[in-house]
């Protein structure tokens, strides 16, 4: 058929040959079509006659025509994301070219300055980039940050719990701060987006922050979970100051730059995807092997009678299973359309997630709407507008530590199988005779909900003020707004066992919080490009930045509820708490980049920032950066036939800041009351108005090497980053009236190694295997400490706590031992590795990603709390006692107070993070369906965390009772257990 057509065309051409002889005398017209391996046309691909400047681009349908002087010639085809292809053309037969997607991601563009990007092959920093395919291609991730596991070297990502709706921490290149922010700055299409975790006020019921620890243990989600992963085109990660210096005073913990999808000119494309599946517990611990003797010994005679009775009636209940055994249904629906003409392009998407948790009455719902518009009214002027509206609602249950025995997790440790906790026919729950909470009643009746309405708007205008052959001046204006309101509701109705006044309760608690957050940022840049005659390119940029942050939160706590009202004014006692945070930052940025014909690329820049959060608000602080990249392969040593496709050496240095915590600058009273008399009292923290920001200085160097047109590529980076003027909440003698004081009093250092290897071991038309391996390790050390060593985090030395000490790791864990306080572990992993595989056979595609965390310790108190209640699954097993005399339960409880070692446990794991198996039906198969309107249909099954291996005695080594924004995570106190997800996916493009 095709040949015939070609013949026909040939005949037509011959006809033309006769009709218009003058045309063919001077020129030859070539035409053809460019498609990718799926048969989808590639618009705007470059088609160039090799060795000349003669060229064109393909149109919206992938077609091109090109006039050439004479045949034969060589045509070069290239397009972003595809490998360059050369084709020798000897006749005028219409050409059909299939471009292969680039096997390596080296030709992508990465950020080089606040207003510029450049080829990755010229970048002097190890900027990690994650593509849309990597984010959502294998399996739809639960949240955006949950999609980052194992995808690049240098990040420790940890889920705080398994509660639906997120709650993760991302730490880039080790410990960046002790008391300051440790989470990266997130910027989406130029908008600074808030990633707060805001507590819902559960502490009034849990009293978790009563003894020893004041940190938030409410297990809130973090706000980056609002961002819809499906909308993302790519993510760039600036891991340390050497790359992040361009973001200055708030970039010390790294920057995550997110770019959302854009429309391409051409026919409007539609994409619909539906994922449906379920979530189930990752790992349940099981129930202790009870016998009559054990029950009598541990719980007394009454319990024994109850045990025997329940056993005889077959009424022994596995309450762990009852609580965590749910299969939560997940549904993710996504619809996008994109397209546009030459002047206006658009991308619009809507996503709806509805997920239930592994605990009844928990779940997550999200709707996200996005419209991205790009308009180019004139060649020299381009405007982008990105808009995103998000609604989300998450029901997170009531877990983690408490001091009242009421959190479902803590109460479960005291719930034995012979208890009868189910409601009677009238729906009345019995009180738990053995504890203060009936877990089933708590699960069924409480509400712990977070609702978010959020709008993120970003706009960019690019104006080419001047453009000539070898120079240009561009003005870039950017503005962004992130506005959200967060409504939290924590409702503990009066029917609950622990709310009944007869049980010492306060007759119901309703805590309602409302947080309004508005961030906006503005910037203006001038970028000047200049090419010299001998191919040296100078890129100069200078501009101003301004960021405003304004958060206002009010939390109303009502106790003694009237009837079944949850309205906070229908209550006996009402308290209000307001928290405000405002910050104004302003600064400038200048940078000069010199590119010697891609052989060597040098960059020098500085950012100056002032902030209302500094002691002296209008003082400028400077954050310099410098970098050099040398592309040895471009020097031409190896000749044109070499297999070396890249050999780059690079080095970069940069500085970045980290603000003091908002309350660190002031010594203030807090308001309280006594019998109706108001009063103001210190709360034990001494501020310092002259506190300086922390300053991070990072030097990194490395190499990027590629062989065989990128079928083998390797990237290695070594970095050393030090943090000076470390802000510490140093212990003060409590007799001073203050227990802690904020001071600049130390330095810490991280050294790390990051290696990535990408291989394409097999590559043919039908079969392709891509393999990626990442390895990284980081070692932190407190290099200077001008205050006494102090304990921090967790619950004190008898249970295992973190300790800041000069010469030691920033995350060492110490505890009491028979020989005094000793180092018992370190939260920092020895190393992490990930293995990603993508295997394609014809239209069948299998991808999977393994992540291995080696080493790193947790403080596991879940097991201890179960031991103390005699309920741990391994209570009667042996193995923990080195002398072999005591079973595990008695041994562990016996060590309490004299030895914390049993509670500090290795939290290594290997997890199959993502796996997906898909089959794609392409245009050919579908040509008879709906008149061929369907371009492709992809169906498959996928999963998250389907396999996990660890030797850790709790639900999951990935846990944090105290949330994410600190380096002292990994404390395990009866969390919401982690889960795995199974999904069936259906995607259609038309």
Partner 1 sequence: MKINKKIHKIGFLLCTMLLLASCEVQEFSDLNNPEVDGFETGLTRGDLQDLVGGILYSSRINLGTYYDDCGVLGREWWRFSSSDPRFTTDLLGKGDAQLDNNTFYITNPWSARYRTVKNANLILGFLDGQDLSAQFTNAEVTATKGLLKTFIAYELLLNLNLTDVNGIRLDVTDPNNLGPFVTKAEALAGIRSLLVEGASDLANGGDEFPFVLSSGFSGFDTPDTFLKANRAISARVAAYQADFPAVLSFLSQSFFTLNANDLNTGIYYVFSEDQTDLLNPMFFIVDATTANARIMYPSFVPDAEPGDTRLNKVALRTEPLTLDGLTGDYSVFLYKTNTDPIAIIRNEELILLYAEANITINPTETVNALNMIRQSAGLGPYTGPTDSASLIDEMLNQRRYSLYAEGHRWVDMRRYNRLGQVADPAFERPEDDVFSLFPIPLTENQ
Which residues within the stretch 80-109 sit at the binding site for partner 1 (CB under 8 A)?
Answer: none
How far apart are alpha carbons 581 and 550 in whole angstroms? 6
- How many CA within 13 A on the CB side of residue 89? 29
How far apart are alpha carbons 421 and 423 in whole angstroms? 7
How far apart are alpha carbons 545 and 33 in whole angstroms? 45
In the complex with partner 1, the residue whose CB is nearer, 11 or 582, is: 582
**How would DSSP label each residue in 66-113?**
EEESSSSEEEEEE-TTB--EEEEE-S-PPEEEEEPBPSSSTTSEEE-S
Quick check: 737 binds partner 1 (CB under 8 A)? yes
Angle between helices 301-312 and 292-299 (to 10 degrees): 150
Site residues for partner 1, 191-210, by CB under 8 A, read 204
How far apart are alpha carbons 725 and 27 in whole angstroms? 70
In the complex with partner 1, the residue whose CB is nearer, 455 or 896, is: 896
Least separation, in Å, of the C-beta of 862 and partner 1? Answer: 12
Residue selected from 578, 764, 883, 928 as contacting partner 1 according to rule CB under 8 A:
578
Quick check: 212 binds partner 1 (CB under 8 A)? yes
In the complex with partner 1, the residue whose CB is nearer, 75 or 440, is: 440
In the complex with partner 1, the residue whose CB is nearer, 342 or 469, is: 469
In the complex with partner 1, the residue whose CB is nearer, 172 or 730, is: 730
In the complex with partner 1, the residue whose CB is nearer, 136 or 866, is: 866
SS3 836: strand
Site residues for partner 1, 233-262, by CB under 8 A, read none
Token pair 């309350």 in the structure block, residue: 663
Residue selected from 156, 785, 797, 804 as contacting partner 1 according to rule CB under 8 A:
797
Residue selected from 57, 354, 367, 403 as contacting partner 1 according to rule CB under 8 A:
403
In the complex with partner 1, the residue whose CB is nearer, 642 or 681, is: 681
- Which of 142-150, 315-323, 682-690, 708-716 is the region at the interface with partner 1 (rule: CB under 8 A)? 682-690
Quick check: 437 binds partner 1 (CB under 8 A)? yes
Quick check: 841 binds partner 1 (CB under 8 A)? no
How far apart are alpha carbons 279 and 735 in whole angstroms? 52
Site residues for partner 1, 854-873, by CB under 8 A, read 864-865, 868-869
Least separation, in Å, of the C-beta of 567 and partner 1? Answer: 16
Cα 829 from chain centroid (whole Å): 19
Quick check: 546 binds partner 1 (CB under 8 A)? yes
**How would DSSP label each residue in 263-287?**
--SEEEEEEEEEEEEEEEES-----
Quick check: 573 binds partner 1 (CB under 8 A)? yes
User: Total number of residues binding partner 1 (CB under 8 A)?
Assistant: 113
Site residues for partner 1, 509-538, by CB under 8 A, read 524, 526, 528, 530
Identify whether the C-beta of residue 328 lies closer than 8 Å to the C-beta of residue 363. yes
Nearest-CA neighbor of 205 among 214, 220, 218? Answer: 218
In the complex with partner 1, the residue whose CB is nearer, 171 or 803, is: 803
SS (H, E, C) 425-439: CCCCCCCCCCCCCCH
Assigned token pair, 659: 């603000």
Site residues for partner 1, 924-963, by CB under 8 A, read none
Query: Who contacts 291 (Cβ-Cβ below 8 Å, separation ≥6)?
Result: none
Angle formed at CA 711 by CA 945 and CA 239, multiple of 5 degrees: 55
Site residues for partner 1, 584-643, by CB under 8 A, read 584-588, 590, 610-612, 617-618
Quick check: 401 binds partner 1 (CB under 8 A)? yes
Alpha helices, H only, 176-288 = 203-206, 241-244
How far apart are alpha carbons 112 and 244 in whole angstroms? 10
Least separation, in Å, of the C-beta of 684 and partner 1? Answer: 6
Quick check: 25 binds partner 1 (CB under 8 A)? no
Nearest-CA neighbor of 318 among 416, 201, 384? Answer: 416
Least separation, in Å, of the C-beta of 243 and partner 1? Answer: 23
In the complex with partner 1, the residue whose CB is nearer, 191 or 506, is: 506
Least separation, in Å, of the C-beta of 855 and partner 1? Answer: 27
In the complex with partner 1, the residue whose CB is nearer, 301 or 379, is: 301
In the complex with partner 1, the residue whose CB is nearer, 656 or 665, is: 665
Assigned token pair, 824: 């018992």
Sheet with 904-906: list strands edge to edge.
Answer: 904-906, 857-860, 971-972
The count of other CB atoms within 10 Å of the CB of residue 955 is 25
Quick check: 581 binds partner 1 (CB under 8 A)? yes
Site residues for partner 1, 697-736, by CB under 8 A, read 731-736
In the complex with partner 1, the residue whose CB is nearer, 494 or 840, is: 494
Site residues for partner 1, 469-498, by CB under 8 A, read 471, 473
- Which of 53-61, 230-238, 334-342, 431-439 is the region at the interface with partner 1 (rule: CB under 8 A)? 431-439
Residue selected from 668, 766, 786, 925 as contacting partner 1 according to rule CB under 8 A:
668
φ and ψ of 296, to 5 deg: -60, -45
Residue selected from 81, 341, 679, 761 as contacting partner 1 according to rule CB under 8 A:
679
- How many CA within 13 A on the CB side of residue 64? 28
Quick check: 582 binds partner 1 (CB under 8 A)? yes
Site residues for partner 1, 685-704, by CB under 8 A, read 686
């Amino acid at each position: 058929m095709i040949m015939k057509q070609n013949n026909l065309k040939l005949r037509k051409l011959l006809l033309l040959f006769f009709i218009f002889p003058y045309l063919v005398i001077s020129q030859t017209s070539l035409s053809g079509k460019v498609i990718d391996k799926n048969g989808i046309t590639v618009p705007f691909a470059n088609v160039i006659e090799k060795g000349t400047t003669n060229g064109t681009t393909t149109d919206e349908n992938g077609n091109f025509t090109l006039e050439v002087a004479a045949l034969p010639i060589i045509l070069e085809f290239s397009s972003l994301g595809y490998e360059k292809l050369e084709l020798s053309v000897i006749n005028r037969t219409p050409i059909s070219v299939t471009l292969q997607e680039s096997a390596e991601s080296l030709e992508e563009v990465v950020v080089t300055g606040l207003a510029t990007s450049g080829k990755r092959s010229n970048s002097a920093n190890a900027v990690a980039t994650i593509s849309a395919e990597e984010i959502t291609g294998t399996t739809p991730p639960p949240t955006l940050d949950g999609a980052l596991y194992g995808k690049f070297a240098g990040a420790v990502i940890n889920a705080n719990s398994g509660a639906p709706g997120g709650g993760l921490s991302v730490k880039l290149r080790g410990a960046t701060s002790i008391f300051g922010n440790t989470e990266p700055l997130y910027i989406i299409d130029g908008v600074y987006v808030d990633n707060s975790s805001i507590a819902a006020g559960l502490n009034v019921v849990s009293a978790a922050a009563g003894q020893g620890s004041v940190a938030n243990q409410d297990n809130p989600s973090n706000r980056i979970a609002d961002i819809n992963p499906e909308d993302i085109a790519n993510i760039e990660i600036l891991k340390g100051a050497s790359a992040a210096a361009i973001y200055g005073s708030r970039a010390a913990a790294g920057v995550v730059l997110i770019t959302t999808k854009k429309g391409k000119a051409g026919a409007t494309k539609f994409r619909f995807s539906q994922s449906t599946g379920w979530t189930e517990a990752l790992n349940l611990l099981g129930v202790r092997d009870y016998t009559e003797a054990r029950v009598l010994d541990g719980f007394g005679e009454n319990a024994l009678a109850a045990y025997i009775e329940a056993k005889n009636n077959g009424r022994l209940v596995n309450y762990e299973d009852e609580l965590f055994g749910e299969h939560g249904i997940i549904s993710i629906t996504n619809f996008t359309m994109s397209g546009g003409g030459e002047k206006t392009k658009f991308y619009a998407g809507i996503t709806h997630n509805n997920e239930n948790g592994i605990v009844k009455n928990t779940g997550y719902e999200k709707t996200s709407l996005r419209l991205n518009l790009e308009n180019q009214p004139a060649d020299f002027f381009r405007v982008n507008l990105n808009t995103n509206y998000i609604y989300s609602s998450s029901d997170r249950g009531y877990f983690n530590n408490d001091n009242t025995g009421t959190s479902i997790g803590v109460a479960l440790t005291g719930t034995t199988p012979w208890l009868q906790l189910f409601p009677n026919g009238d729906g009345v729950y019995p009180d738990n005779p053995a504890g203060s909470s009936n877990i089933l009643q708590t699960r069924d009746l409480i509400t712990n909900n977070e609702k978010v309405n959020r709008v993120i708007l970003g706009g960019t205008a690019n104006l080419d003020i001047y453009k000539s052959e070898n120079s240009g001046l561009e003005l870039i204006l950017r503005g962004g707004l992130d506005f959200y309101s967060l409504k939290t509701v924590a409702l503990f109705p009066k029917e609950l066992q622990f709310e009944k006044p007869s049980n010492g309760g306060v007759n119901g608690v309703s805590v309602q919080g409302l947080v309004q957050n508005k961030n906006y940022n503005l910037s203006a840049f001038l970028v000047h490009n200049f090419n010299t005659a001998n191919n040296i390119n100078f890129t100069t940029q200078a501009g101003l930045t301004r960021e405003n942050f304004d958060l206002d939160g009010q939390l109303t706590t009502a106790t003694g509820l009237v009837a079944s009202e949850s309205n906070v004014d229908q209550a006996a006692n009402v308290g209000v708490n307001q928290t405000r945070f405002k910050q104004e930052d302003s600064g400038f940025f200048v940078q000069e980049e010199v590119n010697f014909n891609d052989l060597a690329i040098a960059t020098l820049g500085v950012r100056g920032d002032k902030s209302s959060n500094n002691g002296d608000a209008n003082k400028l602080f400077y954050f310099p950066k410098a970098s050099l990249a040398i592309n040895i392969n471009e020097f031409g040593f190896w000749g044109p036939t070499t297999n070396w496709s890249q050999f780059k050496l690079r080095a970069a240095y940069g500085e970045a800041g980290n603000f003091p915590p908002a309350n660190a600058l002031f010594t203030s009273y807090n308001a309280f009351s006594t019998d109706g008399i108001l009063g103001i009292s210190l709360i034990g923290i001494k501020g310092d108005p002259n506190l300086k920001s922390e300053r991070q200085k990072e030097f990194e160097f490395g190499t990027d090497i590629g062989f065989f047109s990128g079928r083998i590529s390797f990237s290695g980076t070594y970095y050393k980053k030090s943090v000076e003027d470390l802000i510490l909440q140093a212990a003060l003698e409590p007799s001073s009236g203050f227990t802690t004081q904020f001071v600049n009093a130390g330095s810490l250092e991280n050294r790390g190694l990051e290696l990535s290897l990408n291989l394409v071991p097999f590559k043919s038309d039908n079969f392709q295997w891509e393999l990626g391996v990442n390895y990284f390790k980081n070692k932190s050390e407190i290099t200077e400490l001008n205050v006494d060593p102090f304990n921090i985090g967790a619950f004190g030395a008898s249970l295992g706590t973190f300790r800041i000490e000069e010469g030691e790791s920033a995350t060492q864990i110490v505890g009491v031992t028979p020989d005094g306080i000793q180092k018992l572990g370190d939260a920092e992993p020895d190393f992490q590795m990930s293995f990603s595989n993508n295997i394609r056979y014809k239209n069948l595609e299998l991808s999977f990603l393994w992540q291995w965390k080696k080493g790193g310790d947790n403080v596991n108190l879940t097991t201890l709390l179960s031991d103390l209640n005699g309920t741990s699954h391994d209570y009667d097993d042996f193995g923990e006692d080195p002398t072999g005399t005591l079973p595990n339960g008695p041994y562990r409880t016996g060590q309490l107070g004299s030895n914390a070692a049993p509670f500090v446990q290795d939290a290594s794991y290997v997890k199959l993070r993502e796996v997906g198996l898909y089959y794609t039906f392409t245009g050919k198969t579908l040509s008879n369906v709906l008149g061929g309107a369907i371009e492709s249909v992809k169906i498959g099954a996928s999963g998250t965390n389907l396999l996990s291996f660890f030797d850790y005695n709790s639900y999951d080594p990935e846990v944090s009772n105290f949330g994410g924004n600190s380096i002292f995570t990994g404390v395990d106190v009866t969390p919401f257990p982690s889960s795995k997800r199974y999904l069936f996916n259906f995607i259609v493009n038309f």
